[in-house]
């Protein structure tokens, strides 16, 4: 059975536009004005603090002019995407994804620099003593309200927002910053931030190196510590900060992803190393897993999750809520998985711990795109299947709760579960 893109009912944008009602407009208005007030307060803070000086953005190629002895480098590489099998996309998603579902992808080139003296600020920003903000560290900046109004205007726009005399601590000696915007999320940390350690270890003994991380919350902090430990980092060498810290010598590795569509092979290599370490005393016997995210998720709930669970359970699938497992338990659970089905979310990051060729059937809201995890499946040389459900209408975006038609799911799921064809590249 060849993988190819298939679309069924629900192709029209009119389907989700028809769900808009007064309740939706009221909720969106509240969200809009709340965000506007927050952005305005941040903007005022930036203007007020501008009297303290300026920060100018500089890209790592300029850093190489100043620090010619770059300590690490990862070349850009090509990789092929697999053919997805996607059901029930609407026209909006078709048009959006058509720009990115390309046969061959070029991963970003990455560099490691050691900078003598500097600051690490919120969301992993790196600022040198001469006031240069490294442009690449403003990764995923569309998520950061502080930069949302400023940075897109011009990459050289001067701004200032810190009083450096108020740095909460000074970190002596060499220390590598791994935190970056968005990695309070399990998937972003594992796929985008953590793999940069593999670049750093090419030039440094990471067992003795200080690692700088943002102190976020106990749950994700534990994931940071455990995942780093499996890659050789001594937990005692982790230095936590909240807002601003001065560092004697900052080690900075540039991004290895272009969120959400492109990743370097090193992303998968890092997580496969962790899987090997965890499974060294035996691989998990759980071959078929269903991921439910209804218990601990504030949005994108699948409202008929129980119906779908009954269908997959009859075929021997293990039902998992990843939020109830420790990091090591998740790695072990997925280390032998050949088939993964469920509500698409951060838990699907665990597919990277599974064997190459892993098969995915993602269930999602009508406006959620097949991007981050589809690309990850491609790097795993796997199979990506997806069904876009029917939105419930509370939110008119990818976060909407949704349902999956159980009869339609049963037919597609039966094909997915019994299909044994090899994964195919786009140009196969």
Strand pairing category for 85-87 and 383-388: parallel
Kindly list the domain boundaries of the chain, sorted by start residue: 48-73+108-271
Q: Is the pLDDT of residue 238 over 50?
A: yes
Q: How much is the pLDDT for 101?
A: 75
Query: Which residue's structure tokens are 């080139």?
Result: 109
Q: How much is the pLDDT for 422?
A: 73
Question: Is 277 in contact with 140 (CB distance < 8 Å)?
Answer: no
Question: Is 379 in contact with 261 (CB distance < 8 Å)?
Answer: no
Q: The tokens of 120 are what?
A: 């690490």
Q: Is the pLDDT of residue 150 over 70?
A: no
Please give the torsion angle defined by the CA atoms of residues 197, 62, 68 and 114, in that order, rounded to the nearest 10 degrees.
Answer: -30
Of 73, 75, 81, the residue nearest 104 (C-alpha): 81
Q: How much is the pLDDT for 95?
A: 84
Report the C-alpha gap between 2 and 375 in whole angstroms.
Answer: 19
Report pLDDT digits (tens) over 355-408: 999 999 999 999 999 999 999 999 999 999 999 999 998 777 888 999 999 999
Long-range CB contacts (within 8 A, 24+) of 351-354: 351/376, 351/377, 351/380, 351/382, 352/190, 352/191, 352/267, 352/268, 352/271, 352/272, 352/275, 352/376, 352/380, 353/271, 353/272, 353/274, 353/275, 353/278, 354/275, 354/380
Question: Is 173 in contact with 179 (CB distance < 8 Å)?
Answer: no
Using alpha carbons only, what angle is made at residue 212 by residues 195 and 43, rounded to the nearest 5 degrees?
A: 100
Q: Is the pLDDT of residue 212 over 60?
A: yes
Report the C-alpha gap between 396 and 408 in whole angstroms.
Answer: 23
Give the residue-averaged pLDDT of 158-181.
Answer: 81
Confidence class for position 37, pLDDT limits 50, 70, 90: low
Question: Is 167 in contact with 122 (CB distance < 8 Å)?
Answer: no
Confidence class for position 56, pLDDT limits 50, 70, 90: low
Q: How many CB atoms lie under 10 A from the CB of residue 342?
A: 27
Confidence class for position 228, pLDDT limits 50, 70, 90: very high
pTM of the predicted protein model: 0.82
Question: Is 416 in contact with 384 (CB distance < 8 Å)?
Answer: no
Q: How much is the pLDDT for 328?
A: 95
Q: Is the pLDDT of residue 15 over 90?
A: no
Q: Is the pLDDT of residue 423 over 90?
A: no
Give the residue-averaged pLDDT of 343-347.
Answer: 95
Confidence class for position 264, pLDDT limits 50, 70, 90: very high
């Amino acid at each position: 059975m060849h993988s190819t893109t298939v679309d069924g009912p629900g192709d029209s944008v009119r389907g989700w536009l028809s769900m808009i009602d007064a309740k939706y407009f009221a909720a969106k208005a509240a969200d809009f004005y709340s965000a506007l007030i927050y952005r305005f307060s941040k903007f005022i803070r930036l203007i007020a603090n501008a009297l303290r000086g300026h920060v100018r953005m500089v890209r790592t190629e300029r850093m190489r002019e100043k620090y010619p002895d770059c300590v690490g480098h990862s070349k850009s590489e090509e990789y092929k995407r697999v053919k997805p099998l996607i059901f029930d996309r609407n026209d909006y998603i078709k048009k959006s994804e058509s720009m990115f579902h390309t046969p061959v992808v070029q991963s970003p080139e990455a560099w490691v620099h050691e900078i003598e003296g500097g600051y690490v600020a919120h969301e992993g920003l790196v600022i040198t003593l001469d006031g240069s903000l490294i442009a690449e560290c403003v990764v995923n900046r569309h998520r950061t309200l502080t930069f949302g109004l400023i940075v897109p205007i011009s990459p050289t726009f001067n701004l200032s927002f810190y009083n450096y005399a108020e740095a909460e601590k000074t970190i002596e000696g060499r220390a590598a910053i791994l935190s970056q915007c968005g990695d309070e999320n399990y998937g972003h940390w594992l796929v985008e931030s953590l793999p940069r350690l593999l670049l750093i270890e090419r030039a440094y003994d990471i067992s003795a190196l200080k690692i700088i991380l943002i102190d976020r919350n106990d749950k994700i902090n534990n994931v940071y510590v455990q995942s780093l430990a499996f890659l050789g980092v001594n937990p005692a060498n982790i230095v936590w900060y909240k807002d601003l810290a001065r560092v004697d010598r900052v080690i900075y590795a540039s991004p290895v992803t272009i969120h959400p569509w492109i990743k370097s092979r090193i992303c998968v290599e890092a997580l496969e190393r962790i899987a090997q370490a965890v499974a060294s005393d035996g691989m998990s016997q759980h071959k078929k897993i269903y991921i439910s995210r209804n218990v601990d998720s504030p949005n994108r709930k699948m409202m008929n999750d129980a119906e779908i669970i009954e269908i997959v359970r009859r075929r021997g699938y293990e039902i998992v809520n990843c939020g109830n497992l420790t990091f090591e338990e998740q790695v072990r659970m997925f280390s032998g998985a050949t088939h993964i089905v469920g509500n698409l979310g951060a838990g699907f990051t665990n597919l990277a711990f599974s064997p190459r060729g892993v098969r995915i059937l993602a269930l999602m809201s009508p406006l959620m795109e097949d991007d981050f995890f589809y690309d990850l499946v491609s790097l795993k040389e796997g199979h990506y299947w997806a069904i876009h459900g029917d939105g419930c209408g509370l939110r008119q975006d990818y976060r909407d709760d949704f349902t999956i038609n159980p009869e339609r799911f049963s037919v597609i799921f039966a094909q997915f579960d019994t299909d044994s064809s090899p994964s195919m590249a786009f140009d196969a």
